[in-house]
Chains A and B, each alone.
Chain A
Amino acid sequence: MLNLINGSQTIGNGRGFWVAFLVVLAMALAYPMFADSYDVGNFSYFLIWIFMALGLSLIWGYGGMLSFGQTFFFGIAGYSYGVLAIIMGGGTATLLALVLSVLMATLAAAVLGYFMIWGRIGGVFFGIVTLAATLSLAFFLGQTAGPEWQIRGARLNGFNGMKGMDPLTVGNIYIEGTLLYYVMVALILVVYLGLRMLVNSSIGNVIVAMREDPLRAEMLGYDVRKYQLLTFAVGSGLAGLSGALYTSWGQFITPSSIGLPAAAMPIVWVAFSGRSDLTATLVGSFLLLFGFQTITIYSQQAALVLMGALLLATVMVMPQGFVFGISQLVSAQWRRQARPNKPRVSDREARSQMSGSDNVAH
């Protein structure tokens, strides 16, 4: 099964790629030794969102379903983690809260996905219904500020944001700082390699087939709806993982992480990076998050204007994604240079060569 890490649905299958991958991994693991704790915590913050981006890449890039619901499931899992962590009293129970909240997000995705996919809602309408659900959830959570909005003592707090939950804890040790960083890197490694295996397997081939031509896939005997539901559930579950980790990282979650403009961000990251490939999404999202944070320090509005402009530029100039497109150009150039140069033969020499071997009088 491990050989599925390389396959036809992901770019980067050769030795060169994996050597570079190991180098980057080594640098990531060594990073806390060179950076101060603030930067390490900051990097963990970037890594939180990668799961959501990878999930959307699976749903949209591989599955062909444009879903605006990533922040919807982000919010469900985030708030579930908060409520469960508070109810269960914190401590090691937070690990169970993490697992349960991701499961709840996946379950919600299965239910919403069932209604949409079995209702044959596709294309744009899929996006619109998921967007409507996301904005409605944000609106609903925004007006839960009163004291009557609480679940067994865990107040939802509306736009003030829910707080008071423990971060991920094992026994007496809070998982934060450098420890959280290593946990995040490990999780990303597991999820990334796992997704590569999923996508390159026979299930992944069906998923891509239904993206290319759903009718043809059905004619070949696959129940497209089941595969679409699976893709949607897995991708949204990953968004839920982002949500639960986010709540644990900051011990805080608000409806503004669910509504606009937060709901637009995964779309921008994945569209800009190249949604049809996991590695492109991983690299591109990380770069965009880094760039976004650098600009937000000066002006959040300017950063968001830039995000909008990047989305517009991507759709108009390079619809397959800038990171993906550029990597294709670079690898094509690489291959062209690797081929040995053939000596150029003039036309007359070529003709005499040909006629000489033919023994035909002319």
Chain B
Amino acid sequence: MFAELFSLFYQFADVFSFLILASAGLAIVFGMMGVINMAHGEFIMCGAYVTVGLVNLGLPLPLAQISAAIVAGLIGVIVERLVVRKFYRRPLDSLLATWGLSLIATQGTLLVVGSSIRGIGTPEGSFAVGAYTFSTYRLILFACALAVLLGLYILFMRTRFGVIARATMQNAGMAQALGARTGRIYAVSFGIGTGLAGLCGALFAPTMTLIPTMGATFIVESFVTVVVGGANVLLGTAPAAMFLALVRMTLNAGYGQIIGQIGMLFAVIVIIRILPEGFSSILIRRGR
């Protein structure tokens, strides 16, 4: 009995951590700047590739993962300066521009690095509960997802940067009039968003095969989580991830992976029908 319950919890935690890690960065970028970053999957790919490259050079895995996240963040800052800066509050144009970037990035990586590189194995082995064995690393990922949520809460709610960032999100003109350097805030926020994407790729790198198009595996889930959640990261993305993980887990357990994927998409369409602004709209309204 306990083993079955734990197994359900494990599956929920697996999907939940995937959704949170994949969509946190996207939610920050969208919530802050109204920019849809279609190259999000490519930053995830960048994080994964850099991690594997560093590990193959001899670095220990956690160090490689953190470095990969930082590298992705720095590339994000450069991209923001060169491309995204022109598209604030223009979600359709930013979507197209970043999609062009995404196409260039995937095919460019295919050209330069080739269609696959040698991956790294999943560390930490497994543990058993009752009749089932589970991979320990996935629970570590769950812990990382919770850590990311906690970190974002502390960053946005308890630091000076967080206050200024939230002010810029609410009313950029006013924040600028009060002395906040909005250009720098945007650059840093985009960097945080892409850094989180890189972290997602770095954390999932030991669990999947690395191909240049691996970003596509993440973007559907991350986009639907952001759409269902709405623009607010903490009040939107986290509950959305919980809801979608529940739906996915139930469908997976009952009917298998494919029905799980399609069912989640159905749930998204239904949710958007009922709540066009996502979860964050009702939660913000309740909170007032």
Query: Which residues in A have some Cβ–Cβ distance to B below 8 Å?
Result: 66, 115-116, 118-121, 123-125, 127-129, 131-133, 135-136, 139-140, 143, 259-261, 264, 267-268, 271, 299, 301-302, 304-305, 307-316, 319
Question: Are the CB atoms of A308 and B272 closer together than 8 Å?
Answer: no
Question: Are the CB atoms of A120 and B103 closer together than 8 Å?
Answer: no
When distances are taken between beta carbons in the complex, the residues of chain A under 8 Å from B97 are 311-312, 315-316
Cα separation A124 to B96 with both chains bound (whole Å): 10
Question: Are the CB atoms of B91 and A121 closer together than 8 Å?
Answer: no
| Nearest-neighbor residue (CB-CB) of A312 within chain B | B100
Question: Are the CB atoms of B92 and A136 closer together than 8 Å?
Answer: no
Question: Are the CB atoms of B100 and A315 closer together than 8 Å?
Answer: yes
| Nearest-neighbor residue (CB-CB) of B93 within chain A | A315
Question: Are the CB atoms of A132 and B265 closer together than 8 Å?
Answer: yes
Query: Which of B103, B227, B269 is the one whose CB lies under 8 Å from A308?
Result: B103
Q: What's the least CB distance linking B155 to chain A, in Å? A: 26
Query: Which of B87, B92, B265, B273 is the one whose CB lies under 8 Å from A133?
Result: B265
**Selected A-B contacts with CB under 8 Å, 13 pairs:** A115-B270, A116-B272, A119-B272, A127-B95, A129-B269, A129-B272, A132-B265, A133-B265, A268-B103, A305-B111, A307-B103, A308-B102, A309-B104
Question: Are the CB atoms of A124 and B91 closer together than 8 Å?
Answer: yes
Main secondary structure of the interface of B (DSSP, over half): helix
Cα separation A133 to B223 with both chains bound (whole Å): 12
* Beyond A129-B227, A136-B220, A315-B93, 18 extra complex contacts between A and B, CB < 8 Å: A115-B269, A116-B269, A120-B276, A125-B272, A127-B95, A132-B224, A135-B216, A139-B261, A259-B216, A299-B111, A301-B107, A304-B106, A305-B104, A307-B103, A308-B99, A312-B100, A313-B100, A315-B100
- Is the CB of B180 closer than 8 A to any CB of chain A? no
A115-B269, A140-B258, A260-B216 known; A311+B100 contact, CB < 8 A: yes
**Residue among B95, B96, B272, B274 having the largest count of chain A Cβ atoms under 10 Å:** B96
| Nearest-neighbor residue (CB-CB) of A140 within chain B | B258
Question: Are the CB atoms of B107 and A304 closer together than 8 Å?
Answer: yes
Cα separation A118 to B272 with both chains bound (whole Å): 10
